[in-house]
Amino acid sequence: MASLLKSNESGGYRFLPGIAPYSSGVVAMPGFEIVHAALQTPLRWQDGLNAARRYLEGKKLNCRNLCAVELRCPQPYTMEGFIDFNNQYRRLLIAWEMMVDGLNPVARTNVAPVLDPPREPMLFAFSYSRPSDHSRPTFVVAGGGELPDGELAERRIVRVGETSPDALIEKAECVAQIMNSRLQGLGGSSELLTVLDVYTAHPLRPLLESVLVSRLPAIATRGVHWFYSRPPIVDIEFEMDMRGVVCEEVADL
């Protein structure tokens, strides 16, 4: 099967096309690595992205090296509200000339904390590519909830409006399948995963035992980071993202 990966030559990474607001994941090109940077203090999303750009420029990189973004929002959006926010976000990336053949190369996760949520969308973390001698592939798998084909439509949400134990299992199975598909599309493997993040307000243990450990075997050794958060759209109940990196930073922007 031919690779679906697209090259972002000026950014030093390749990306798996997704939808207009974000790609499905990114992987460093040979001679580069992807670095994950968590903000010491989250910033308003526009200010945060501008600060991240300055951070990269301080390392003699540029905005095109930005390859993944993690946001936190006050509460889950309606579908219409999410599309509106995505349009604002995409306009900023277009202004930075980030598009590659009209496609958005930047992966993204955007979730709503249950406890102490921000009052407005915030930048929580980002990833970027930089020149490197590491031979190990480094990558980020974008956040995904139980929307099996990525279409932003309520009718496409698995078991929409349901939160029974069996509905949550079906949702988790859908997300695990999405994560594996994106990982495969990036040319990655379970053995290279270093961080697996789960975002849900529902009890995690039943989903770990019945779905996640068998579908994503790296969890057995790497564990998961559980963020007590809701996915970004009302009626989506379970989301994940993953990455395989060598370097994790804390950025004081």
- In whole angstroms, what is the distance from residue 170 CA to residue 76 CA? 21
- In whole angstroms, what is the distance from residue 188 CA to residue 167 CA? 29
pLDDT band at 2 (very low <50, low <70, confident <90, very high): low
Name the least confident of 50-59, 145-154, 179-188, 202-211.
145-154
How much of the chain is in helix, strand and coil states, percent to nearest 5? 30, 30, 40
- In whole angstroms, what is the distance from residue 169 CA to residue 121 CA? 29
Q: What is the mean pLDDT of residues 109-136?
A: 97
Six token digits for residue 27? 């992987």
DSSP string, 78-134: PHHHHHHHHHHHHHHHHHTT--BTTB---EEEEEEESSS--SS-EEEEEEEEEE---
Share of the chain above pLDDT 70, in %: 99
User: What pLDDT is attached to residue 101?
Assistant: 96
List Cβ neighbours of 106 (8 Å cut-off, separation of 6 or more): 15, 22, 23, 26, 66, 67, 68, 69, 93, 98
- In whole angstroms, what is the distance from residue 229 CA to residue 146 CA? 15
DSSP string, 211-252: IIHHHSTTHHHH--EEE-EE-SBTT---EEEEEE-S-EEEE-
Q: What is the mean pLDDT of residues 195-204?
A: 98
User: What pLDDT is attached to residue 132?
Assistant: 98
Work out the mean pLDDT of the chain and round it to a whole number.
96
User: What pLDDT is attached to residue 1?
Assistant: 39
The 10s digit of each residue's pLDDT in 50-107 is 999 999 999 999 999 999 999 999 999 999 999 999 999 999 999 999 999 999 999 9
The 10s digit of each residue's pLDDT in 19-44 is 999 999 999 999 999 999 999 999 99
Please choose, from the candidates 28, 9, 219, 26, the residue with its C-alpha nearest in 3D space to the C-alpha of residue 17.
26
- In whole angstroms, what is the distance from residue 43 CA to residue 37 CA? 13
Whether the per-residue pLDDT at 238 is higher than 80: the answer is yes
Taking phi over 0 as left and psi of -120 to 50 as alpha, with beta for the rest, 187 belongs to: left
Whether the per-residue pLDDT at 251 is higher than 60: the answer is yes
CATH architecture of 6-250: 2-Layer Sandwich (3.30)
Which residues are registered as beta bridge partners of 250? 38
The 10s digit of each residue's pLDDT in 168-199 is 999 999 999 999 999 999 999 999 999 999 99
Q: What is the mean pLDDT of residues 203-231?
A: 97
Q: How far is CA 144 from CA 31, 76, 104, 110, in A?
A: 28, 14, 16, 9
User: What pLDDT is attached to residue 151?
Assistant: 78
User: What pLDDT is attached to residue 152?
Assistant: 83
